[in-house]
Amino acid sequence: MTLKKSFPILSSVILSLALCTCGTSEDSNSDGGDDVDGGIDVCQRDDSQKGSTATEWQLVPDGEPASGYICPKRDVDHYWFEVTQPRSIVDVSLSNNVLASTVQLCFDIYKQGEDIRYGGECDNDSTDGKTNLNSTWYLEEAGTYFIEVRDDRGDTEDSRVLNNYLLSIGVVQDKDEYEPNDSAAQAKTIAGGQGYLSYREDEDWYKVDVSSAGQIMLLELTNSAKTEVDLRYEVFMPDGSTRINAGEDTDGMNGDNTYLHDSLALAEAGTYYIKISDINGDDADLDLGYSLSVSTRNNPDARDSSGTGNEEWAQATPITSGSTITGAYLATRGDDDWYVIESPGVDDVHPALLEIDLVFPNASPIEPVINLLVADPHTPCTAGDACGELVSTCSGCNNDIECLKAQCPSHECLTHLSKCKGSGECLNGGSYWGCGVTSLFMYGVEWSETGNAKHLHTVAPMYGQRYYFRVSDYQSKRFDADNAYTLTITVRQEKDTHEVPPNGLYLPYMTESQENASRNWNKQLATPINCTESGGEIVCGPIVGYLSYRGDQDWYVMSRNGGAVVPAEPESSPAEKSVTVDWDLQIDWSFNNGKSGMPVGILVDPGRQTPMGPEVTAGSGTWGVGAGECSYFCGEYHTPDSFYLWVFNDTFRKYDYEHPYSVTIRLVRDCPANCGYCDDDRCEYGCPTPTNPDPESNCP
């Protein structure tokens, strides 16, 4: 039933004139009458009195609207109506016919013989267009009720003859058979019938008895069509006041209908309470009800159904390396499952490897996420500390956010503090306490080696003796009490002896700006390699290493006892067309990648010249001697004490902890025959010659 009415302006003028009578109108805030009304366009007068049940001030449900004026200041007009049956709903409509008025119309509802306000509403901005207040209110008892119409603050009036207001009501029975259920004390057992938010500020409370702790509650709240009501549910503990979860439809007019569902963990036995309401309490619907379905069942995850569960890091389930966790569920909304593994002797100088394998069935609605966390030994803390930031700083980079993130072990920078972000937990690291570092966040097909986002797999470095793992749904929205997941964590030895300590930054989400910005930082971590001169060649290596984990990159710095790696020797042969001896760069390599199939990039970074080197796959060979493999050091440019070697996978996603690569760098005197860069007619990338001593400046 819809009780909202509208009336044409002309009829409202006629009605207003018909209802104007002489006399006084009592002010509800004083013992005497209202200020005396004046004449036309001064004040329209009436003689309504507080508490009066005179016939001319009676409102008849669904009858003609009453008309009146708020004038003079502090004027209050009094109306009354009868409610013949208990548990009724009164629908009040108060409007005027002007676009702007100084009066901010309000109405209040009272019961005869009581000072309790049963409802009411105000138009708090009378200048925003035509006033049209329309709302429903619940009346528990039959009897006589009063409606008072006034200005919001009583300090304005509107004497213009056309500026009358119209007041009408409708009275219907509340369809909600669960009423009264407006509090936890009045909560009803769900019996299958529909509930209704029939009036403004209506709250419907229900109760569910739970026989034992460790169960889960399955809840569905639906309606069948659009409505102005924005449905919201809240679930409370047996004390009736501690809320454990809530959900809402922020716009009941969006979409075909409302459908909310939830699955909640119940920590204890007892009577739980559910409150249904409109989000802001300002909408109601007399005709369209809602359906609430609630059931309980045992939690299928034994870790959650008994004991303390594993919802927090301090309750983390211990994992044995290589053993698979089974029978695990994200059975409730917001469920977090924590696990922990230990490997004594591991730290950020002596790392190990963590192989992570998380599998959800394809039928599961869960979008799996797994976080890896470790206590930061450089940011000590005491249990309970906020740990929102680490001691590590992040700055510079022209405020490029990806560059700033690359400076942080947590891969997140709090730019307003120039500090690296902590995980928000003070973690027990085994032999110390430190603020948590989220060292890895795995989600989506990018972290699946099969292209299936339900199956996450990778290998990551382990920089502490104790690591924590948090399994959850992305954004904690979905739940699944029917499909179990499996989790396998394996600690593996880091076979790369050059990783003690690590010889490259761990950047698992590598971006182009991070790659460019981090090159100079990585050079500070490079493993020293001593080069020797043998048979007229300078030889660096063999260098044997592993790209053991996703994002692994290995940096080496070449040096030579007794001086610069590349000596500055005068060129004595005119045929070489050079001032200083140039060098042919050749790279011997081998890599057996039978398992991974990944390509390996090998780049020599001489500093002043562009880095040079191949991308190789399985096999072995020498790069720099074939067609199109021109690589060289200009003698004039390369007389530093050292240069660098960078080994990496081009996508920074593939890895191989089983098969090593081997690289040997050889520098052979004189410019290679397959290069024209040593000729005196070259400028870009060219080496200086007697006729072109500065090719970089002479390039057009």
pLDDT at 29: 38
pLDDT at 673: 66
Q: What is the pLDDT of residues 603-661, one digit of tens each?
A: 999 877 788 899 998 889 999 888 878 888 887 775 557 899 999 999 999 999 999 99
pLDDT at 513: 87
What is each CA distance from 606 to 302, 560, 573, 602, in whole angstroms? 59, 15, 24, 13
* Contact in structure between 122 and 177 (CB atoms under 8 Å): no
Whole-angstrom distance, CA of residue 104 vs CA of residue 119: 17
pLDDT at 683: 64
Q: What is the pLDDT of residues 367-382, one digit of tens each?
A: 999 999 999 999 999 9
* Contact in structure between 144 and 138 (CB atoms under 8 Å): no
Place of tokens 């090159």: 519
Token couple for 138: 């619940």
Q: What is the pLDDT of residues 679-699, one digit of tens each?
A: 666 666 677 777 777 777 766
Confidence of residue 61 (pLDDT cuts 50, 70, 90): very high
Edge-to-edge strand ranges of the sheet holding 165-173: 66-68, 165-173, 88-96, 132-139
- Of 34-38, 364-368, 573-577, the poorest mean pLDDT is in 34-38
Q: What is the mean pLDDT of residues 10-39?
A: 37
Q: What is the pLDDT of residues 518-543, one digit of tens each?
A: 998 999 999 999 999 888 899 999 99
Token couple for 277: 């309401």
Q: For all residues of the chain together, what is the average pLDDT? A: 88
Q: What is the mean pLDDT of residues 99-105?
A: 82
Find how far residue 629's CA is from the centre of its chain.
48
- Position 162 pLDDT exceeds 50: yes
pLDDT at 628: 79
- Position 267 pLDDT exceeds 90: no
Closest CA to 144 of 119, 113, 112: 112
Q: What is the mean pLDDT of residues 575-582?
A: 73
- Position 11 pLDDT exceeds 60: no
Closest CA to 593 of 553, 546, 555, 551: 546
**Per the confidence metrics, is the pTM higher than 0.85?**
no
pLDDT at 6: 32
Q: What is the pLDDT of residues 287-316, one digit of tens each?
A: 999 999 999 999 999 998 876 789 999 999
- Position 260 pLDDT exceeds 50: yes
- Position 210 pLDDT exceeds 50: yes
Whole-angstrom distance, CA of residue 433 vs CA of residue 378: 10
Place of tokens 């007399």: 286
- Signed CA dihedral, 441, 445, 448, 449: sign only: negative
pLDDT at 565: 85
pLDDT at 36: 39
Bridge-based pairing state of the strands 105-111 and 66-68: unpaired
pLDDT at 14: 31
At 516, give phi and psi (nearest 5°): -70, -45
pLDDT at 10: 32
Whole-angstrom distance, CA of residue 298 vs CA of residue 87: 39
